[in-house]
Structure 1
Amino acid sequence: MSQPPTLDLQSVIDGNKVGGMQRRVLLLCLGVLILDGLDVALVSFIAPSLITDWGISKAQLGPVVTSGLFGLAIGSLVAGPLADRFGRRRVIISSLLFFGAMSAATALAPDVLWFSVLRLLTGIGLGAAMPNATTLVSEYAPTRRRSAMMAITYCGMTAGAAIAGYLTSVVVQIASWHWALVIGGVLPVAYAAAVAAALPESPKFLARRSENHAELAALMNRVVPGMLPADARFTLDEPPAGSALPFVALLTRRFRLGTLSIWIGFIGAFFIVYLMNSWLPILMTDVGFSLTAAATIGLLLQVGGTVGNIAIGWLMDRFGLHRVVGIGMSCAAVMLVLISVAPRDVAVLGALVFVLGMFTNSVATGFPILSASFYPTAIRATGTSWATGIARFGAIAGAAMGTVLVAAGLEYQQVFLALLIPAAVSITAVTVKGRLAVRPAGTAVPDLVTSAPRKLPEEIV
């Protein structure tokens, strides 16, 4: 009796076109990030109503903002190891249910303290959803399309934030800020039912355990219908993680340099993004621009970020992961200098900020793509989630540093020049990652630039 054929799972995915099952996973995970982005942004849009209703100052509202950011960091750090143990699908569904319930419960908060506590819990669920959804997309994607598919998924965050702005403006006029939070809670709970019914588990997660053979075979025949032998078995051509504890494996000798460089670079990127997101409109009004002009410049930053996110995945697939991220942050540094010396004209600054947003937001998207491409399946969710969670502390630091710089009386020119420091840190980190990080076999690996459809390495490091 002949032995059943054994196929490398990634080679099968790489050797076929993106099919209906992969598009389904992409769209469902895009929906997860849209709801994630909606709930993350809701607080910033209802903040004026909170100040009015509770009779508090902007400074007193600080815990409401920071508690959510801390929750996002905690959720990212906790959810990755859980997903590597119990599966990406289960964690995504659980996170939708949890942050939906907590968001709705926040509508009942009577004061800042309770609002902050509930917002912390909401953030934990939100932090768990994003990195696991993008990890799942990466594990269905052909290597040649992985960056593009992940980048499309990340566009859900900015789309969700835009929806949050429109939703809040309508709901607050009709009812109150409480109902915005209720809607922001009901939508992910309802969506969890659709995800439970239609979202499959990661084939790479299933391939790690022999008892999942039948489920994996059925799934792969849906991914590439009619293309596989009926009795085929699948393997993962990957090295072992190096530790039974996923978060410990991230810092083993094999992965340590890559892990630290990803974390440091990601922190620098998030520092810039969150300082600008939090303080750009205020910096613009402080130098004499109208509220409308300042809001327009802030909007252009987000629109530029969305355009950049769409572009970076295609660029990374075509020209190499590290090269694109490094050049992107270098271009962002040039834009920081140009903005600091540009005339105080709304049109000029708006155009420059738009381009700056393209580079900074896309670089922030590029680091989790780097992470997903660097780690093997056994620790991929942990690696991506921990990179995002660690970077959240850069986001917190950026928002806090904005407070310090504004309180010190710095105008936007000085603030933008100060951002050259985290930009330089990020550029250095991604350069180290691209040139010195090593494969499990121990050989240094430069950026790969290829569009070959099959037999590409699992980790592009």
Structure 2
Amino acid sequence: MREPIDRACTVDVQEFIDGQRFSVFHCVLFVLCFLIVALDGFDTGAMGFIAPSLVQDWKVPRESLGPVLSAALVGVGIGALLVSPFADKIGRKAVLAASVFFFGALSCATAFSNSMDALTAMRFLTGLGLGAAVPNAVTLMSEYVPARIRGFVVNAMFMGFAAGIALGGVLSAWLIPVFGWKSVLLTGGVAPLVLAAMLIPLLPESVKFMVANGRPRERVARILQRLAPQARLNGCAFICEAKNPVDTARTSPVLQLLSKRYLLGTMMLWLSYFMCLTVFYLLTNWLPTLFKASGFTLHGSAMTSSLFHVGGCVGILLAGWLMDRFSAIRVVAFFYVLTAAIVFVTGRNVAHDAWLTALIVVTGVALSGAAASMAPLAAEFYPTTSRVTGVAWMLAIGRVGAVVGAFGGAILMGLSWQFASIFSLLAVPSLVAAFALVVMARSAAHNERTSTDTAPVVATRS
């Protein structure tokens, strides 16, 4: 039974967090979460960097690497679906530290694989840990950052993924000639193990999770004191924004996503992110080939394609900045509409090199900005009691879109589709993604109007 709220000393943890400046506490949390996402990027790109050496050392055909390269992606999806719900039940910190340790240990073990089957199996298991790590990092960061800067900070954290891939390329170029391809996997394994050891003393548990799950007030107060040392919180009761606490406390996180209140929004989030990654991974995997087929030199194809990701870095920060000032859903939907318009125009300007280069940069700004903003958007949509699960399941569904995009590009190229036709086609899923967010926004607004039970969840004493 919950303890009655002491109205003389009651602290709404969201209002408390929103009232703080971005402090050393936030900086430490940001660095830890940034490193987690960066290690995800490093591991994601690792197999691509070591593939040529693997083919040479093991004398295997290149086409046999397909299962190895995709095994981690499958593991990530399953890990997100199965492991992340535990974070909404036992806590973000425990699952996050365990998942980082798990994928670090498995990455080290992968380096000692002696067959393609063993390598594929180990990459799949590594993916399970990765699938649980990133959703937890996104959720924990979003739950501690003041609302006025949340979009910008969480999106900036997501830039760690690109940084990790870039670092992987640099280190691979140095490590493989000297120590062999296994050294890349060992590096990508030892680093998470070290980070997992740092997470235990440095990473805070989510106070919103603690309040929503009735953890002792004293523990909540101690964490908030780290955030604001000057605050006097002894003896205070703590409340959070969760609505319908009786229902959410007894319902599994997965069932909450599919409940009447969230079902339509959940479906629309999944549809939007699926379409987003379909477009993103088709472009990421096939842009150089499309440019080469359109008459660009090999160097020109690589350089122009890289500008897509340069624009992406700008778009991630711009989208986050705009989300903090306007409706987050409308901002992301606008970025999708902009993507649709730009890819349609791009397909009709392939003959103009300078204009095409500019359009590719803007495409990266719009599409990457939308893609990176979906996770914080999902974290904002779901309640504390199912937030990690909501983010994780959306990311898992998006992985299916990534596979569709990669294979879809191959199918379209096999059908002899040209640059203009493919880019024009990409406007369709971009518009579908925008439409899905509009429907989601209307559903959320309707739920807000019809909600009658807004009793706060309260932290109790042990």
* TM-score for both structures, normalised by structure 1: 0.91
Does residue 441 of structure 2 align to residue 434 of structure 1? Answer: yes
Quick check: 2:304–2:360 contact (8 Å CA) kept in 1? yes
Q: Which residue of 1 aligns with 2:167?
A: 163
Count of aligned pairs between the two proteins: 445
Separation of aligned partners in 1, 2:295 and 2:62: 20
- Report deviation, 1:333: 1.0
Matched residue SS, 1:341: coil
Q: Which residue of 2 aligns with 1:373?
A: 380
Separation of aligned partners in 2, 1:392 and 1:75: 12
Separation of aligned partners in 2, 1:107 and 1:344: 46
Q: Which residue of 2 aligns with 1:177?
A: 181
- Report deviation, 1:347: 4.2
Which of the numbers 287, 301, 305 marks the counterpart of 2:312? 305
Q: Which moved more, 1:158-167 or 1:279-288?
A: 279-288
Aligned amino acid, residue 116 of structure 1: T
Separation of aligned partners in 1, 2:228 and 2:221: 11
Which of the numbers 368, 385, 394 marks the counterpart of 2:401? 394
Mapping for residues 40-59 of structure 1, pairs under 5 Å:
40-59=44-63
Does residue 300 of structure 2 align to residue 293 of structure 1? Answer: yes
Separation of aligned partners in 1, 2:442 and 2:448: 15
Cα deviation digits, residues 15-49 of structure 1 (max 9, x gap): 22222212221121111111111111111222222
Q: Which residue of 1 aligns with 2:279?
A: 272
Cα deviation digits, residues 226-245 of structure 1 (max 9, x gap): 12342222111321354511
- Report deviation, 1:291: 2.9
Separation of aligned partners in 1, 2:172 and 2:418: 31
1:156 to 1:341, Cα distance in 2 relative to 1, 3 A: same
Which of the numbers 229, 232, 235 marks the counterpart of 1:228? 232
Q: CA RMSD in A?
A: 2.1
Matched residue SS, 2:238: strand
Q: Which residue of 2 aligns with 1:447?
A: none
Cα deviation digits, residues 334-363 of structure 1 (max 9, x gap): 221122111345544333222211111111
- Report deviation, 1:287: 3.2
* TM-score for both structures, normalised by structure 2: 0.91
Does residue 97 of structure 2 align to residue 90 of structure 1? Answer: no
Aligned amino acid, residue 119 of structure 2: F
Q: Which residue of 1 aligns with 2:105?
A: 101
1:440 to 1:323, Cα distance in 2 relative to 1, 3 A: closer
Cα deviation digits, residues 283-338 of structure 1 (max 9, x gap): 22333433322222232122221211111111111121111111101111122112
Q: Which residue of 1 aligns with 2:196?
A: 192
Aligned amino acid, residue 339 of structure 2: A
Q: Which residue of 2 aligns with 1:14?
A: 18
Separation of aligned partners in 2, 1:10 and 1:95: 27
Q: Which residue of 1 aligns with 2:460?
A: none
Cα deviation digits, residues 131-163 of structure 1 (max 9, x gap): 110100011011222212211111111111111
Q: Which moved more, 1:374-383 or 1:56-65?
A: 56-65
- Report deviation, 1:259: 0.8
Matched residue SS, 1:318: coil
Separation of aligned partners in 1, 2:102 and 2:299: 36
Quick check: 1:67–1:116 contact (8 Å CA) kept in 2? yes
Matched residue SS, 1:437: helix
Separation of aligned partners in 1, 2:324 and 2:84: 25
Q: Which moved more, 1:81-90 or 1:49-58?
A: 49-58
Quick check: 2:350–2:420 contact (8 Å CA) kept in 1? no
- Report deviation, 1:391: 1.1
Separation of aligned partners in 2, 1:372 and 1:56: 43
Q: Which residue of 2 aligns with 1:449?
A: none
Cα deviation digits, residues 352-385 of structure 1 (max 9, x gap): 2222111111111121111100111011111111
- Report deviation, 1:248: 0.9
Q: Which residue of 1 aligns with 2:37?
A: 33
